[in-house]
């Protein structure tokens, strides 16, 4: 047993890099899958709409932890190497994709119908309408909630510690196991998470204020 020292903080900081790496994987992976799903969700083909909405319902209706376990043990059965990292990356990507799909579908549907109609009256095809008229406007609306969801992604990576992947939360447990000083150790872990997430929260809020004009909150009695 030894006390919590600066070397441990260095170790936590290194583990935080894994948290950030996993978050980026989940963000880009989830973003790509989510974009496809969002397009499926508003597709003119009924089958695609149904597949996408079924997928989203299932993913959003199951805890991320259970999904992690399924991928972790599933990949193990298939005899894959690096199961913890793979399972974490796949589970986080799929989980994020369902939420991104819903966020982006919402922003696309928030664009007034008149925009579609005027684009159609100019003779644009459906893909041209989406690409040149609808999506550029929807991106503006989608930006604040997308950044906001990045906060959720960073926090969700902490669950990968439960399948044994060494990121920030797991590193905290490891340090706690040798120092037996849970309060300072986990407080330090929390501070690192906070300093990653808080700037994103602020950014998201700032973007939202910018998109929605200057709506001042009214303080009630």
Partner 1 sequence: MGYTFQFGEVFRYWPLLVEGAINTLLFSAIAMAAGLAVGIGGAVCRNSSNRALRAVAGGYVEIVRNTPLLVQLFLFYFGLPATGLRLSATEAAILALIFNTGAYSTEIVRAGIENVHRSQVEAATSLGLSRTQAFLHVVLLQALERVYPALVSQFILMMLASSIVSAVGAEELTAYGNRIQSENFRSMEVYFVCGAVYLGLTYVMRFVLAFLARFLFPRRRALARA
- The number of C-alpha atoms within 13 Å of 171 and in the hemisphere containing its C-beta is 24
Nearer to partner 1, 85 or 185 (CB): 185
Stretch that binds partner 1, among 6-14, 105-113, 125-133, 153-161 (CB under 8 A): 153-161
Phi and psi at residue 199, to the nearest 5°:
-60, -35
Query: Which residues fall within 8 angstroms of residue 46, CB to CB, at 6 or more apart?
Result: none
96 binds partner 1 per the rule CB under 8 A = no
Name the minimum Å distance from CB 29 to partner 1: 20
Query: Which residues fall within 8 angstroms of residue 175, CB to CB, at 6 or more apart?
Result: 4, 8, 11, 12, 185
Among 94, 147, 159, 175, binds partner 1 (CB under 8 A): 159
Name the minimum Å distance from CB 56 to partner 1: 12
| CA atoms of 120 and 35, how far apart (whole Å) | 23
List C-alpha distances in Å: 39 to 98, 210, 211, 220: 12, 26, 23, 41
Stretch that binds partner 1, among 38-46, 110-118, 121-129, 152-160 (CB under 8 A): 152-160
Footprint on this chain of partner 1 (rule: CB under 8 A): 58, 61-67, 69-70, 73-74, 77-78, 151, 155-156, 158-159, 161-162, 169, 172-173, 176, 181-183, 186-187, 189-190, 193-194, 197-198, 201, 217-221
């Amino acid at each position: 047993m030894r006390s919590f020292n600066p070397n441990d903080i260095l170790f936590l900081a290194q583990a935080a890099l894994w948290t950030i790496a996993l978050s980026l994987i989940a963000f880009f992976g989830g973003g790509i899958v989510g974009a496809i799903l969002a397009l499926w969700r508003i597709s003119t083909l009924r089958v695609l709409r149904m597949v996408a909405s079924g997928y989203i319902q299932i993913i959003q209706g199951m805890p991320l932890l259970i999904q992690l376990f399924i991928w972790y043990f599933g990949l193990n059965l298939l005899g894959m190497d690096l199961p913890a990292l793979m399972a974490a990356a796949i589970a986080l990507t799929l989980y994020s994709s369902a939420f991104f799909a819903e966020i982006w579908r919402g922003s696309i549907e928030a664009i007034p119908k008149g925009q579609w109609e005027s684009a159609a009256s100019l003779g644009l095809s459906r893909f041209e309408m989406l690409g040149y008229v609808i999506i550029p406007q929807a991106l503006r609306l989608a930006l604040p909630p997308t950044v906001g969801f990045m906060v959720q992604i960073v926090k969700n990576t902490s669950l990968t510690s439960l399948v044994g992947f060494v990121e920030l939360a797991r590193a905290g447990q490891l340090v706690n196991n040798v120092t037996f000083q849970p309060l300072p150790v986990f407080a330090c872990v929390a501070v690192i998470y906070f300093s990653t997430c808080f700037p994103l929260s602020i950014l998201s809020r700032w973007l939202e204020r910018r998109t929605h004009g200057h709506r001042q909150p009214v303080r009630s009695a």
